[in-house]
């Protein structure tokens, strides 16, 4: 599967597609722009690879839960450890590849109120 072609098959933002499965993990691809929601996954790490554009991941993992932002450009990777509150964002837009266990919700298991533009999903099939 060609990732660029697969990204061309949908337009929805913050709405990952399942590009492949590896044992009981998904390889998901997503288009993003603007802000996601603060959330955390109690039981799983989450892997990000920026395929295009730039992704900002705000993290509350500093001393006393202080906030920092990791900026990832194309070709950069980052793992958000389980339990860490984070909020992905992309002011100018980005395309992402994610690895996470099949069934992982986009908004985690603890999250702020979910805005309308964020899809609460465990990933959609690529049509």
CB of 72 vs its own copies, minimal distance in Å: 9
* Residue from 2, 42, 63, 92 in contact with its own copies (CB under 8 A): 2
**Burial class, 25, CB count within 10 angstroms (exposed 0-12 / middle 13-18 / buried 19+):** middle
Which three-class secondary structure state does DSSP give residue 84?
Answer: coil
Binding mask 23-62 for its own copies (x = CB under 8 A): x-x-x----------------xxxx-x-x-----------
Residues with Cβ within 8 Å of residue 114, at least 6 apart in sequence: 37, 107, 120
Q: How many residues does this entry show for the chain?
A: 127
- Interacting residues toward its own copies by CB under 8 A: 1-4, 19-23, 25, 27, 44-47, 49, 51, 73, 75-79, 82, 97, 99-101
């Amino acid at each position: 599967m060609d990732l660029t072609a697969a990204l061309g098959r949908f337009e929805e933002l913050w709405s990952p597609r399942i590009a492949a499965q590896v044992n009981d993990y998904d390889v998901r691809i997503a288009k993003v722009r603007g802000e996601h929601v603060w959330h955390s996954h109690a039981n799983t790490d989450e892997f990000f690879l920026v395929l295009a554009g730039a992704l900002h991941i705000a993290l509350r993992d500093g001393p006393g839960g202080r906030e920092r932002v990791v900026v990832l450009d194309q070709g950069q990777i980052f793992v958000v450890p389980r339990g860490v509150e984070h909020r992905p964002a992309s002011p100018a837009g980005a395309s992402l590849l994610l690895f996470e266990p099949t069934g992982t919700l986009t908004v985690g298991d603890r999250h702020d109120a979910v805005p309308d533009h964020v899809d609460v999903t465990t990933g959609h099939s690529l049509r």
